[in-house]
Amino acid sequence: MVNIKLMFIKFVVFRGGYCSGIILGNKRRAFLVTRCGKKVQIYYYFPTCIAQNRFFFSISIFFVLCYCRPMRLYYLCMRLSNQYMDNRSLISISDLSKEEILSLLRRAGEFEKNPNQRILAGKVVASLFFEPSTRTRLSFETAVNRLGGRVIGFSDPKSSSQAKGESLKDTIMMVSNYADLIVMRHYLEGAARYASELTPVPIINAGDGSNQHPTQTMLDLYTIYQTQGTLDGLTITMVGDLKYGRTVHSLLEAMHHFSPRFKFVACNELRMPEQYKEYCRQWGIDYEETTEFSEGIINQTDILYMTRVQRERFSDLMEYERVKNIYTLTASMLTGCKPNMRVLHPLPRVTEIAQDVDDTPQAYYFQQAKNGLYARQALICRALDL
Amino acid sequence: MVNKEKKELAVAALQNGTVIDHIPTASLFKVVNLLGLANLNDVSVTIGNNLDSPRLGKKGIIKVADLVFPEATLNRIAVIAPNAVVNIIRDYEVVEKFNVTLPDELFDIVKCNNPKCITNNEPMRTHFHVIDREHTTLRCHFCERPVAQHDITLK
């Protein structure tokens, strides 16, 4: 009857008082609705302490049943779920279930066939880029424009009130008065999660420091799906900077639904962190680690995911000079590969893929960047429930 | 005989209140800060440190007269003193005794070690999830970095 699948409801009696009501919320926020219909935002830790106190728990159910008329409760639930609870923000790729990922991929496929649809007409999307970016910002703004929406925002924090010392909270609160959706990139980790807890307007994370970049992962998934026809049971080789590269980490987490096999190719300084290998073991995912980037490995691979070795990650520049050219892919290395094999790269590319690879049928990184548009269109529609 | 007297002195009886026992000596004053004992003006607080303990070797103990903390507040101690034992005293008798248990989520207790985490750059509360109870491993809700027990710093 009531759409409460994303909510939990807890009944509560405040300590030392007789204020009864229900707590509505998801993991991000919680509200207490008292029996007179007053809505109070409560601290996040409250549900945890309530859960431990079973005695009050049972008493409070009694209170609510006594004092709240069922229909009124139903309307309150409906109103709250529409207004606040069903927050469609996308902060981290782990927020998405397997079914949601697959339905987003299908949706992205529809947009690829017909990218110009006026389903965002009358909507305003704020694009807040606290950190410069061209690729992500342009593809988001293109996505909104092609869907018929309008974009407001800034691409340079120097031109915003942040330069005057305004806090992120104030900026977000101000912008949520104007926009239906906020797309944000921030240089601090966790900024997007924080923003999504401040405002009922959905937030799409377009990168928060080195933490998460879920829309990049969605476009990677879409590209894999598009080139292989499936996501299940693929062999994915990741090459380059596996230690700091957030794209490889997010892709690894997203692929755990689809029983993949991984091969990690990196020098010792840039190996896959233990935390992610543990993650693979937990989910029973096969992986293999090597420092050698050989044709033997390429020949077993369905998806070759190349990443840039970033100069700024090295404390020792001699080490960087030594490492940077080891993991370079050339066209001659692709002669014996599987026919379905494709080379992906989140771009920008420097030396890790030689120019002659661009002309091989395996090169797919430019189409991959183009897919960003469709994946982001699908994510915008999900965020706005369209 | 002398020893026995000393022992009695160390655990002088409390009429009503809370006794927190088996606190590792290194964490004692962190627990004091965590419970905000420095700001209690009306109640008598006894803090003992480096007392002999068969279980810990040396231990710390805190006694607060005429005050019972909410359980949720006491459980926050588990972050730094996982083996602490709480005794609630009423009329010289222990009416309740329990080990502190780590809550699933910690709000505004622990500081994130990641300098680029939003919590260290905005005026806001920190939020951690307990991902491993056995080893007290936490994960920042915002930047998603794990924090091992020996790296935990309080706010």
CATH number at residue B53: 3.30.70.140
CA-CA distances (angstroms) from residue A292 to A44, A73, A344? 48, 63, 19
Quote the pLDDT of residue A32: 56
Q: In this complex, do A168 and B107 lie within 8 Å of one another by their Cβ atoms?
A: no
Quote the pLDDT of residue B72: 85
Q: In this complex, is the C-beta atom of B127 within 8 Å of any C-beta atom belonging to chain A?
A: yes
Edge-to-edge, what's the strand order for the sheet holding B57-65?
A: B45-53, B57-65, B16-24, B85-90, B93-99
The alpha carbon of residue B88 is apart from the nearest alpha carbon of chain A, in Å, by: 17
Of B81 and A314, the one with more pLDDT: B81
Quote the pLDDT of residue A223: 96
Does B62 lie in the same domain as B13?
Answer: yes
Does B109 lie in the same domain as B79?
Answer: no
Total tally of structural domains belonging to chain B: 2
**Among A252, A251, A244, A191, CA closest to A215:** A251
Quote the pLDDT of residue A83: 42
Does B74 lie in the same domain as B111?
Answer: no
Preferred mutation among B68, B75, B107, B116 to probe A, highest tally of A CBs within 10 A: B116
Contacts of A45 in chain B (CB under 8 A): 72, 103, 105, 107
Does B118 lie in the same domain as B68?
Answer: no
* Domain annotation for chain A: domains and CATH numbers: 8-85 (no CATH), 117-211 (3.40.50.1370), 215-371 (3.40.50.1370)
CA-CA distances (angstroms) from residue A62 to A12, A49, A56, B104? 10, 19, 10, 27
- Stretch B22-46: mean pLDDT: 89
> DSSP label at A309?
P
Q: In this complex, do B143 and A43 lie within 8 Å of one another by their Cβ atoms?
A: no
Boundary residue ending a domain (B53, B69, B99): B99
Q: pLDDT tens for residues A64-93? A: 444 444 555 554 554 444 444 446 899 999
Does B70 lie in the same domain as B17?
Answer: yes
What is the percent of chain A where pLDDT is above 70?
77
The alpha carbon of residue A250 is apart from the nearest alpha carbon of chain B, in Å, by: 12
Preferred mutation among A45, A55, A93, A130 to probe B, highest tally of B CBs within 10 A: A45
Does B95 lie in the same domain as B121?
Answer: no
Quote the pLDDT of residue A8: 41
- Strand extents, DSSP E, chain A: 8-13, 20-25, 30-34, 39-41, 124-129, 150-154, 181-186, 203-208, 235-239, 261-265, 286-290, 303-306, 342-344
The alpha carbon of residue A192 is apart from the nearest alpha carbon of chain B, in Å, by: 8
Quote the pLDDT of residue A376: 96
Quote the pLDDT of residue A317: 83
Rg for chain B, CA atoms, rounded: 17
- Stretch A250-269: mean pLDDT: 92
Does B150 lie in the same domain as B77?
Answer: no
Q: In this complex, do A45 and B72 lie within 8 Å of one another by their Cβ atoms?
A: yes
Does B85 lie in the same domain as B10?
Answer: yes
Q: Which domain holds residue B141?
A: 105-154
Q: Are A354 and A293 in contact (CB under 8 A)?
A: no
> DSSP label at A337?
S
Does B50 lie in the same domain as B20?
Answer: yes
Q: Is the pLDDT of residue A133 over 90?
A: no
Does B46 lie in the same domain as B81?
Answer: yes
Tell me which H or E stretch contains B86: strand B85-90
Q: Which residue of A has its CA nearest to B145?
A: A211
Q: pLDDT tens for residues A12-70? A: 433 333 344 555 554 444 555 554 444 554 443 334 444 444 444 444 444 444 444 45
Of A77 and A241, the one with more pLDDT: A241
The partner residue sitting opposite B123, judged by closest CB among A167, A186, A188, is A167
Does B70 lie in the same domain as B141?
Answer: no
pTM of the predicted protein model: 0.77
Q: pLDDT tens for residues A347-371? A: 888 888 999 999 999 999 999 999 9
What is chain B's percent helix, strand, coil content, to nearest 5? 25, 40, 35
Boundary residue ending a domain (B99, B116, B146): B99
Boundary residue ending a domain (B59, B78, B99): B99
Q: pLDDT tens for residues A291-331? A: 989 999 999 999 999 998 877 777 788 888 877 778 889 99
Q: pLDDT tens for residues A145-191? A: 999 999 999 988 887 778 888 899 999 999 999 999 999 999 999 99
Confidence of residue B2 (pLDDT cuts 50, 70, 90): very low
What residue type is A88 in one-letter code?
R
Indicate the length of chain A as a whole number. Answer: 386
Contacts of B140 in chain A (CB under 8 A): 190
Does B115 lie in the same domain as B45?
Answer: no
